Protein backbone atom coordinates (compact mmCIF):
# COMPACT_ATOMS: atom_id res chain seq x y z
CA UNK A 1 0.00 0.00 0.00
CA UNK A 2 1.21 3.49 -0.81
CA UNK A 3 0.51 6.28 1.68
CA UNK A 4 -0.36 9.58 0.06
CA UNK A 5 -1.16 12.92 1.68
CA UNK A 6 -3.73 15.05 -0.19
CA UNK A 7 -4.59 18.62 0.76
CA UNK A 8 -8.02 19.98 -0.12
CA UNK A 9 -9.40 16.45 0.33
CA UNK A 10 -12.85 17.58 1.50
CA UNK A 11 -14.08 19.00 -1.81
CA UNK A 12 -13.78 19.07 -5.59
CA UNK A 13 -10.57 17.78 -7.17
CA UNK A 14 -8.94 16.78 -3.87
CA UNK A 15 -12.02 14.82 -2.86
CA UNK A 16 -12.21 13.06 -6.24
CA UNK A 17 -8.51 12.17 -5.97
CA UNK A 18 -8.92 10.87 -2.42
CA UNK A 19 -11.79 8.61 -3.51
CA UNK A 20 -9.88 7.39 -6.58
CA UNK A 21 -6.70 6.56 -4.65
CA UNK A 22 -8.62 4.79 -1.88
CA UNK A 23 -10.54 2.75 -4.46
CA UNK A 24 -7.15 1.66 -5.84
CA UNK A 25 -6.00 0.54 -2.41
CA UNK A 26 -3.80 3.45 -1.39
CA UNK A 27 -3.95 4.95 2.06
CA UNK A 28 -4.84 8.64 1.90
CA UNK A 29 -4.20 11.16 4.65
CA UNK A 30 -6.52 14.04 3.84
CA UNK A 31 -5.76 17.59 4.92
CA UNK A 32 -8.47 20.25 4.91
CA UNK A 33 -10.23 22.90 6.97
CA UNK A 34 -12.98 20.40 7.83
CA UNK A 35 -13.79 16.71 7.33
CA UNK A 36 -10.23 15.45 6.99
CA UNK A 37 -7.79 13.17 8.81
CA UNK A 38 -5.67 16.23 9.47
CA UNK A 39 -7.69 19.40 10.03
CA UNK A 40 -5.49 22.41 9.35
CA UNK A 41 -5.62 25.92 7.92
CA UNK A 42 -2.94 26.23 5.23
CA UNK A 43 -3.25 30.01 5.14
CA UNK A 44 -1.27 30.41 8.37
CA UNK A 45 2.22 29.39 9.50
CA UNK A 46 0.83 27.55 12.53
CA UNK A 47 -1.73 25.77 10.38
CA UNK A 48 0.95 24.65 7.91
CA UNK A 49 3.18 23.39 10.72
CA UNK A 50 0.20 21.55 12.21
CA UNK A 51 -0.59 19.98 8.84
CA UNK A 52 2.97 18.68 8.43
CA UNK A 53 3.09 17.42 11.99
CA UNK A 54 -0.32 15.73 11.69
CA UNK A 55 0.66 13.95 8.48
CA UNK A 56 4.03 12.82 9.88
CA UNK A 57 2.31 11.43 12.95
CA UNK A 58 -0.22 9.45 10.92
CA UNK A 59 2.27 8.22 8.32
CA UNK A 60 5.00 7.26 10.76
CA UNK A 61 7.43 9.58 9.00
CA UNK A 62 7.53 8.00 5.53
CA UNK A 63 5.29 9.07 2.63
CA UNK A 64 4.99 7.70 -0.91
CA UNK A 65 3.16 10.72 -2.25
CA UNK A 66 2.01 14.25 -1.53
CA UNK A 67 -0.55 16.18 -3.59
CA UNK A 68 -1.05 19.86 -2.83
CA UNK A 69 -4.55 20.48 -4.09
CA UNK A 70 -6.06 22.90 -1.55
CA UNK A 71 -6.68 26.33 -3.00
CA UNK A 72 -9.20 29.01 -3.68
CA UNK A 73 -9.94 31.44 -6.47
CA UNK A 74 -11.15 34.99 -6.16
CA UNK A 75 -9.59 38.44 -5.97
CA UNK A 76 -8.23 37.78 -2.49
CA UNK A 77 -4.94 38.01 -0.63
CA UNK A 78 -5.98 34.68 0.90
CA UNK A 79 -5.49 33.05 -2.53
CA UNK A 80 -1.78 33.95 -2.41
CA UNK A 81 -1.45 32.63 1.15
CA UNK A 82 -3.11 29.28 0.46
CA UNK A 83 -2.35 28.61 -3.22
CA UNK A 84 1.32 29.54 -3.06
CA UNK A 85 2.66 29.65 0.50
CA UNK A 86 0.36 26.91 1.78
CA UNK A 87 1.20 24.57 -1.09
CA UNK A 88 4.95 25.19 -0.94
CA UNK A 89 5.09 24.83 2.85
CA UNK A 90 3.26 21.51 2.68
CA UNK A 91 5.46 20.13 -0.10
CA UNK A 92 8.69 21.36 1.54
CA UNK A 93 7.58 20.26 4.99
CA UNK A 94 6.80 16.73 3.83
CA UNK A 95 9.83 16.41 1.53
CA UNK A 96 11.98 14.63 4.14
CA UNK A 97 9.21 12.03 4.60
CA UNK A 98 9.06 11.54 0.82
CA UNK A 99 12.83 11.14 0.66
CA UNK A 100 12.51 8.11 2.97
CA UNK A 101 10.18 6.28 0.55
CA UNK A 102 11.33 3.99 -2.24
CA UNK A 103 9.41 5.59 -5.13
CA UNK A 104 8.32 9.00 -3.89
CA UNK A 105 6.19 11.35 -5.98
CA UNK A 106 4.74 14.81 -5.39
CA UNK A 107 2.27 16.93 -7.32
CA UNK A 108 0.68 20.34 -7.16
CA UNK A 109 -2.39 21.80 -8.84
CA UNK A 110 -1.72 24.83 -10.99
CA UNK A 111 -4.24 26.48 -13.29
CA UNK A 112 -4.70 27.78 -16.82
CA UNK A 113 -5.01 31.11 -14.94
CA UNK A 114 -1.27 30.90 -14.33
CA UNK A 115 -0.86 31.98 -17.97
CA UNK A 116 -2.83 35.21 -17.39
CA UNK A 117 -1.45 38.64 -16.42
CA UNK A 118 0.14 38.68 -12.96
CA UNK A 119 1.12 41.20 -10.29
CA UNK A 120 4.91 41.23 -10.68
CA UNK A 121 5.61 42.26 -7.07
CA UNK A 122 3.42 39.51 -5.69
CA UNK A 123 5.04 36.98 -8.03
CA UNK A 124 8.58 38.02 -7.14
CA UNK A 125 7.82 38.14 -3.41
CA UNK A 126 6.40 34.62 -3.57
CA UNK A 127 9.48 33.29 -5.34
CA UNK A 128 11.69 35.06 -2.77
CA UNK A 129 9.76 33.24 -0.04
CA UNK A 130 8.82 36.60 1.43
CA UNK A 131 5.20 36.14 2.52
CA UNK A 132 5.00 39.46 4.32
CA UNK A 133 5.95 41.37 1.15
CA UNK A 134 3.63 39.22 -0.96
CA UNK A 135 0.70 39.87 1.37
CA UNK A 136 1.44 43.60 1.45
CA UNK A 137 1.53 43.78 -2.35
CA UNK A 138 -1.59 41.62 -2.61
CA UNK A 139 -3.51 43.86 -0.19
CA UNK A 140 -2.47 46.86 -2.27
CA UNK A 141 -3.64 45.15 -5.47
CA UNK A 142 -7.04 44.52 -3.84
CA UNK A 143 -7.25 48.16 -2.70
CA UNK A 144 -6.46 49.40 -6.20
CA UNK A 145 -9.02 47.17 -7.89
CA UNK A 146 -6.41 44.78 -9.33
CA UNK A 147 -7.37 41.86 -7.10
CA UNK A 148 -8.14 39.63 -10.05
CA UNK A 149 -4.39 39.36 -10.76
CA UNK A 150 -3.86 37.54 -7.45
CA UNK A 151 -5.14 34.09 -8.37
CA UNK A 152 -3.08 34.03 -11.61
CA UNK A 153 -0.07 35.34 -9.63
CA UNK A 154 -0.38 32.58 -7.04
CA UNK A 155 -0.55 29.87 -9.70
CA UNK A 156 2.21 31.34 -11.90
CA UNK A 157 4.48 31.55 -8.84
CA UNK A 158 3.66 27.96 -7.90
CA UNK A 159 4.52 26.79 -11.42
CA UNK A 160 7.84 28.66 -11.39
CA UNK A 161 8.75 27.42 -7.92
CA UNK A 162 7.96 23.89 -9.03
CA UNK A 163 10.04 23.99 -12.22
CA UNK A 164 12.98 25.37 -10.28
CA UNK A 165 12.68 23.03 -7.29
CA UNK A 166 11.87 19.80 -9.12
CA UNK A 167 15.31 19.53 -10.71
CA UNK A 168 17.25 20.51 -7.57
CA UNK A 169 19.26 18.14 -5.36
CA UNK A 170 16.49 18.32 -2.73
CA UNK A 171 13.86 16.84 -5.06
CA UNK A 172 15.26 15.13 -8.18
CA UNK A 173 18.47 14.44 -6.29
CA UNK A 174 16.50 12.52 -3.67
CA UNK A 175 14.57 10.60 -6.33
CA UNK A 176 11.34 12.54 -5.77
CA UNK A 177 9.35 13.32 -8.93
CA UNK A 178 7.65 16.72 -8.57
CA UNK A 179 5.15 17.91 -11.21
CA UNK A 180 1.82 19.69 -11.57
CA UNK A 181 -1.48 19.44 -13.35
CA UNK A 182 -2.93 22.74 -14.56
CA UNK A 183 -6.67 22.41 -15.15
CA UNK A 184 -8.89 24.61 -17.30
CA UNK A 185 -12.43 24.87 -16.00
CA UNK A 186 -13.44 22.01 -13.72
CA UNK A 187 -16.94 21.43 -12.38
CA UNK A 188 -16.43 21.76 -8.61
CA UNK A 189 -17.89 23.81 -5.76
CA UNK A 190 -15.15 26.38 -6.53
CA UNK A 191 -16.35 27.03 -10.07
CA UNK A 192 -20.07 26.54 -9.37
CA UNK A 193 -20.81 30.26 -8.72
CA UNK A 194 -19.45 31.06 -12.19
CA UNK A 195 -22.07 28.87 -13.80
CA UNK A 196 -24.90 30.52 -11.92
CA UNK A 197 -24.37 33.79 -13.80
CA UNK A 198 -24.83 33.81 -17.60
CA UNK A 199 -22.57 36.86 -18.04
CA UNK A 200 -19.76 35.39 -15.90
CA UNK A 201 -20.00 32.18 -17.85
CA UNK A 202 -19.51 34.04 -21.13
CA UNK A 203 -16.46 35.87 -19.76
CA UNK A 204 -15.03 32.56 -18.55
CA UNK A 205 -15.65 30.80 -21.86
CA UNK A 206 -13.74 33.54 -23.64
CA UNK A 207 -10.88 33.52 -21.11
CA UNK A 208 -10.60 29.72 -21.07
CA UNK A 209 -11.55 28.27 -24.48
CA UNK A 210 -11.86 24.46 -24.18
CA UNK A 211 -12.31 22.97 -27.66
CA UNK A 212 -11.78 19.39 -26.46
CA UNK A 213 -14.83 18.16 -24.55
CA UNK A 214 -15.54 21.40 -22.66
CA UNK A 215 -15.57 21.69 -18.88
CA UNK A 216 -13.98 18.77 -17.04
CA UNK A 217 -15.33 16.72 -14.17
CA UNK A 218 -13.10 16.65 -11.09
CA UNK A 219 -12.31 12.97 -11.62
CA UNK A 220 -10.54 13.79 -14.91
CA UNK A 221 -8.01 15.94 -13.06
CA UNK A 222 -7.84 13.35 -10.29
CA UNK A 223 -6.88 10.63 -12.80
CA UNK A 224 -3.96 12.73 -14.06
CA UNK A 225 -2.80 13.55 -10.52
CA UNK A 226 -3.05 9.88 -9.57
CA UNK A 227 -0.68 9.00 -12.40
CA UNK A 228 1.78 11.73 -11.39
CA UNK A 229 2.08 10.17 -7.92
CA UNK A 230 2.12 6.57 -9.17
CA UNK A 231 5.28 4.41 -9.39
CA UNK A 232 4.91 4.47 -13.20
CA UNK A 233 5.97 8.13 -13.22
CA UNK A 234 9.69 7.60 -12.78
CA UNK A 235 11.09 10.24 -15.16
CA UNK A 236 8.89 13.30 -15.30
CA UNK A 237 10.24 16.29 -13.39
CA UNK A 238 9.27 19.93 -13.23
CA UNK A 239 6.41 19.66 -15.70
CA UNK A 240 3.19 21.63 -15.56
CA UNK A 241 0.76 19.59 -17.60
CA UNK A 242 -2.35 21.31 -18.90
CA UNK A 243 -5.44 19.14 -18.60
CA UNK A 244 -7.59 21.93 -19.92
CA UNK A 245 -9.52 20.87 -23.01
CA UNK A 246 -6.88 22.56 -25.15
CA UNK A 247 -7.14 26.03 -23.59
CA UNK A 248 -3.39 26.49 -23.19
CA UNK A 249 -2.76 25.43 -26.78
CA UNK A 250 -5.34 27.95 -27.99
CA UNK A 251 -4.09 30.79 -25.79
CA UNK A 252 -0.35 30.22 -26.22
CA UNK A 253 -0.41 28.28 -29.47
CA UNK A 254 2.26 30.33 -31.17
CA UNK A 255 4.79 29.94 -28.33
CA UNK A 256 6.38 26.54 -28.63
P1 LIG B 1 -12.92 23.25 -4.04
O2 LIG B 1 -13.30 24.54 -3.44
O3 LIG B 1 -13.98 22.28 -4.41
O4 LIG B 1 -11.88 22.48 -3.10
C5 LIG B 1 -10.79 23.15 -2.50
C6 LIG B 1 -10.53 22.56 -1.13
O7 LIG B 1 -9.41 23.27 -0.56
C8 LIG B 1 -11.72 22.74 -0.17
O9 LIG B 1 -12.05 21.52 0.45
C10 LIG B 1 -11.22 23.76 0.83
O11 LIG B 1 -11.73 23.60 2.13
C12 LIG B 1 -9.71 23.52 0.78
N13 LIG B 1 -9.02 24.70 1.31
C14 LIG B 1 -9.22 26.00 0.93
N15 LIG B 1 -8.53 26.82 1.73
C16 LIG B 1 -7.87 26.04 2.62
C17 LIG B 1 -7.00 26.32 3.71
N18 LIG B 1 -6.71 27.58 4.08
N19 LIG B 1 -6.50 25.28 4.40
C20 LIG B 1 -6.82 24.00 4.08
N21 LIG B 1 -7.64 23.68 3.08
C22 LIG B 1 -8.17 24.70 2.35
O23 LIG B 1 -12.04 23.63 -5.30
P24 LIG B 1 -11.44 22.76 -6.50
O25 LIG B 1 -12.04 23.29 -7.73
O26 LIG B 1 -11.46 21.32 -6.22
O27 LIG B 1 -9.93 23.28 -6.47
C28 LIG B 1 -8.84 22.45 -6.15
C29 LIG B 1 -7.59 23.04 -6.78
O30 LIG B 1 -7.78 23.09 -8.19
C31 LIG B 1 -7.29 24.47 -6.34
O32 LIG B 1 -5.90 24.61 -6.12
C33 LIG B 1 -7.74 25.30 -7.53
O34 LIG B 1 -7.06 26.51 -7.61
C35 LIG B 1 -7.43 24.38 -8.67
N36 LIG B 1 -8.17 24.68 -9.90
C37 LIG B 1 -9.53 24.57 -9.96
C38 LIG B 1 -10.18 24.87 -11.14
C39 LIG B 1 -11.68 24.79 -11.29
O40 LIG B 1 -12.21 25.20 -12.33
N41 LIG B 1 -12.41 24.27 -10.32
C42 LIG B 1 -9.45 25.28 -12.27
C43 LIG B 1 -8.07 25.36 -12.17
C44 LIG B 1 -7.44 25.06 -10.99
Task: Specify the ligand 1 atom closest to the Cα of 47.
Answer: 19
Whole-complex ipTM = 0.99
Tell me what the mean pLDDT of segment 135-139 comes to.
Answer: 98
Axis crossing angle, helix 45-59 with helix 87-99, rounded to the nearest 10:
30
Catalytic residue list: 151
Residue 256 pLDDT exceeds 70: no
Note the pLDDT tens digit of each residue in 69-127. 999 999 999 999 999 999 999 999 999 999 999 999 999 999 999 999 999 999 999 99
- Going from the Cα of 231 to the center of ligand 1, the distance in angstroms, rounded, reads 25
Using a 10 angstrom Cβ sphere, with 0-12 exposed, 13-18 middle and 19 or more buried, the burial of residue 78 is middle
Mean pLDDT of the chain: 97
Contact of 211 with 242, CB cutoff 8 Å:
no
Most ligand 1 atoms within 8 A of CB, residue of 18, 157, 190, 204 to mutate: 190
Most ligand 1 atoms within 8 A of CB, residue of 70, 200, 220 to mutate: 70
CATH class for domain 3-116+155-241?
alpha beta
Using a 10 angstrom Cβ sphere, with 0-12 exposed, 13-18 middle and 19 or more buried, the burial of residue 205 is middle
Could you tell me the residue ranges of all domains in the chain? 3-116+155-241
Interacting residues of 155 by C-beta distance below 8 A, sequence separation 6+ = 83, 110, 111, 113, 114, 182
Q: Is the CB of 69 under 6 A from ligand 1?
A: yes
Tell me what the mean pLDDT of segment 145-153 comes to.
Answer: 97
Amino acid sequence: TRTIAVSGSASGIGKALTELLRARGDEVIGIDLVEAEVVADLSTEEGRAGAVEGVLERSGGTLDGVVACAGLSGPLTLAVKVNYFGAVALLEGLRPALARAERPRAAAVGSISGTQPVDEIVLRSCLNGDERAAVEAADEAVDKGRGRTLYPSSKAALAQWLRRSAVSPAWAGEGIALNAIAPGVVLTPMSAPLFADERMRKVMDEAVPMPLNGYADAVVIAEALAWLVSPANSHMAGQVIYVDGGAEAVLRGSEV
